Amino acid sequence: MNGTQKAKKWFKPLFEFDETEPVKKIKKNIPKANESQKERVQVSSYQNNNTISNASCKSWIKNFDPVNVEDLAVHNKKVQEVEGWVKCACMSNFSDILLLSGPVGSGKTATVYTLATKHGIKVTEWITPLDIEMPSEYGDYQIRESQSKKFLDFIINAANFTSLLDNNNKKLVLVEDFPNVFLRTPTEFTDILLQYKHRAKSPIVFICSETHTDNKNSAFHLFTPALKEQFNISHITFNSISTTGLKCALKRAVDIISKKFTSMYNIPSPALVDSVVNSSGGDVRSAILNLHFASLKGSQMDMETSVIQEKEVKSNKSKRKKNPSSKFMSLGKDQTVSILHGVGRVLNPKTATSEDGKTHLTHSPKDVIEQFLSHPSSFISFLEENYLSHFSCPSDVEMAASALSDGDYMLAEWREKTCQEYGLYTAVAGLMVANKAPISAWNPVRGPKNMRIQYPSLKEMPQLDKDYLYKGKVLVADYSTYCKIIGHKIENSPSVLLID
């Protein structure tokens, strides 16, 4: 009972503050929002204690944007690599192309902007405009057409013409938001690049996020190896931010908070920072977001809320020591379970007994498979490679093996999307249910074997007729054994060869 009351208290003020804080403050702030970052930062820190303006709230994440190159959470080497390219490209005045790819929130855009500021380069970014006109019945096509044309015009103008206002002649075009046209018709993109290469005089940077969930529509697939070769595109891949990198970044954020935003935030405890780091899965943006929400001051009652939160954290901790990220389940990114984790969950199924005496699996197969829907067959391969050491009874193994066989059988039907899901589900659920007497010894998870068939090469069998086409199967089934025997003897006794 107590808990719920307190929770209400913690919650309520937030609404109050939303409504009670009048519009006045916002007006005050708006003109200043356009000014440079530092100024704005100061403005908001001057705000009186328990008010936060909406305007600064909108751009609060900007508060933590890296200012110097040193602030980047990205690995030094990567930054240097990009910097090298940027310097080189901007000097040469050619339309070089760079492709940056990496997981979401690995600091790709931030790196480009920070480096640009450092070297005084003007960055122009393409944002796909919204088509406001209602597409007419036949107009659909025309709008598409204009979108790609607009894109081309934009990037070429941005690359070749300097704005009247600043006299800086170093420019960089940045494309992160790809017009949908290109995803549909990749050839159009090639044309655009061709034109750009011809006419533009500034380097261009493409940024693609790699997601493992949605492979088909990703802009990353526009850049085929052939395309890269054709346009001599440099490609730099970003990795997810390492834990240390994240910690540094958050530390910096905490510093900023403690210096300037004590009014807005509670100063996050190191434990909180740790759990934020754990839950973010190498995504800086989401880490900062989490930090923001986790340490956001509610209102006057903030002292109390933080205490409650602290308590919650503690109770959570005592319950699930092993899993520090769980407390941010609701806040954090979708919890990404690594493939190893998933394998562990399936092969060591834990059951829990609910109040009505029914036993059920702690991790339902459904939750597990959701993480691996994008690559079912590789997950099943992992399971297959590892499941045997967890079983103790032949009849259980038989069930499990049949389940895997079923799963593979269904996965082979690649035309039906649902079959993929069912196949995965069959295999996962089958394995979890089959194991009635699991062996809980620790087993390292092994990766699936590379099952590429290696036919014996013709060189190994010098006796074979060169001008005859051998089938791999026949080579294995018939020739290999005997050629070995025959060849062996000849090698050992050269005299025989001479006589022949």
**b/e per residue, 214-244, with b = 16+ CB within 10 A?**
eeeebbbebbeeebeeebebbebebebbeee
Applying CB under 8 A, does 483 fall inside the site for another protein? yes
Selected binder of another protein within 331, 397, 433, 445 (CB under 8 A): 397
Cβ-based nearer residue to another protein, 37 or 493: 493
Selected binder of another protein within 70, 145, 153, 398 (CB under 8 A): 398
Applying CB under 8 A, does 129 fall inside the site for another protein? no
Applying CB under 8 A, does 477 fall inside the site for another protein? yes
Applying CB under 8 A, does 263 fall inside the site for another protein? no
According to DSSP H, which parts of 320-462 are helical?
339-347, 365-372, 376-386, 394-411, 417-434
Please state at what angle helix 376-386 crosses helix 394-411, rounded to 10 degrees. Answer: 160
Applying CB under 8 A, does 378 fall inside the site for another protein? no
Applying CB under 8 A, does 164 fall inside the site for another protein? no
Cβ-based nearer residue to another protein, 114 or 435: 435
Applying CB under 8 A, does 343 fall inside the site for another protein? no
Q: At closest approach, how far in Å is the CB of 130 from another protein?
A: 32
Cβ-based nearer residue to another protein, 296 or 456: 456
Applying CB under 8 A, does 217 fall inside the site for another protein? no
Selected binder of another protein within 224, 230, 243, 362 (CB under 8 A): 224
Q: β-strand 204-210 against 171-175: which pairing, if any? A: parallel
Which among 405, 393, 406 is positioned nearest to 434, based on CA atoms? 393
Which among 147, 333, 104, 109 is positioned nearest to 239, based on CA atoms? 104
How far is the C-alpha of 93 from the C-alpha of 350, rounded, in Å?
A: 62
Tokens standing for 499? 């006589």
How far is the C-alpha of 147 from the C-alpha of 181, rounded, in Å?
A: 7
Selected binder of another protein within 23, 127, 453, 498 (CB under 8 A): 453
- The answer to whether 460 and 390 have CB atoms below 8 angstroms apart is no
- The answer to whether 443 and 386 have CB atoms below 8 angstroms apart is yes
Residue 203 neighbours by CB distance under 10 Å? 26
Selected binder of another protein within 401, 419, 433, 445 (CB under 8 A): 401
Applying CB under 8 A, does 408 fall inside the site for another protein? yes
How far is the C-alpha of 286 from the C-alpha of 290, rounded, in Å?
A: 6
The size of the interface with another protein (CB under 8 A), counted in residues, is 59
Which among 384, 306, 379 is positioned nearest to 6, based on CA atoms? 306
Using alpha carbons only, how large is the chain's radius of gyration in Å? Answer: 30
- Four-residue CA torsion sign, 477, 480, 483, 484: negative
Applying CB under 8 A, does 489 fall inside the site for another protein? yes
Cβ-based nearer residue to another protein, 93 or 481: 481
Which among 268, 270, 291, 266 is positioned nearest to 279, based on CA atoms? 291
Applying CB under 8 A, does 464 fall inside the site for another protein? yes
Q: At closest approach, how far in Å is the CB of 189 from another protein?
A: 15
Applying CB under 8 A, does 445 fall inside the site for another protein? no
Q: At closest approach, how far in Å is the CB of 405 from another protein?
A: 4
- How many H helices and E strands in the chain? 22, 7
Q: DSSP string covering 146-212, please? A: HHHHHHHHHHHHHHH---SS-----EEEEE-S--HHHHH-HHHHHHHHHHHHHH--S-EEEEEEE-S
Cβ-based nearer residue to another protein, 344 or 487: 487
Selected binder of another protein within 16, 255, 481, 491 (CB under 8 A): 481
Q: What is the rounded end-to-end Cα distance, in angstroms, of the chain? A: 100
Cβ-based nearer residue to another protein, 62 or 484: 484
Please list every residue from 411 through 430 that binds another protein, using CB under 8 A.
411-412
Selected binder of another protein within 377, 379, 382, 432 (CB under 8 A): 377
Applying CB under 8 A, does 218 fall inside the site for another protein? no
Applying CB under 8 A, does 455 fall inside the site for another protein? yes
Selected binder of another protein within 284, 400, 429, 432 (CB under 8 A): 400
Q: At closest approach, how far in Å is the CB of 409 from another protein?
A: 5
- The answer to whether 211 and 104 have CB atoms below 8 angstroms apart is yes
Tokens standing for 106? 């690995």
Among the residue ranges 10-18, 66-74, 177-185, 405-413, the one whose residues contact another protein (CB under 8 A): 405-413
Applying CB under 8 A, does 497 fall inside the site for another protein? yes
Cβ-based nearer residue to another protein, 8 or 452: 452
Q: At closest approach, how far in Å is the CB of 298 from another protein?
A: 54
Applying CB under 8 A, does 466 fall inside the site for another protein? yes
According to DSSP H, which parts of 180-301 are helical?
180-184, 186-199, 225-231, 243-260, 270-280, 284-295
- The answer to whether 333 and 279 have CB atoms below 8 angstroms apart is yes
Selected binder of another protein within 37, 395, 417, 491 (CB under 8 A): 395
Applying CB under 8 A, does 460 fall inside the site for another protein? no
- Please report, as ranges, the residues that interact with another protein according to CB under 8 A: 224, 226, 377, 381, 384, 388-389, 391-395, 397-398, 400-402, 404-405, 407-409, 411-412, 449, 451-456, 463-469, 471-486, 488-490, 497, 500
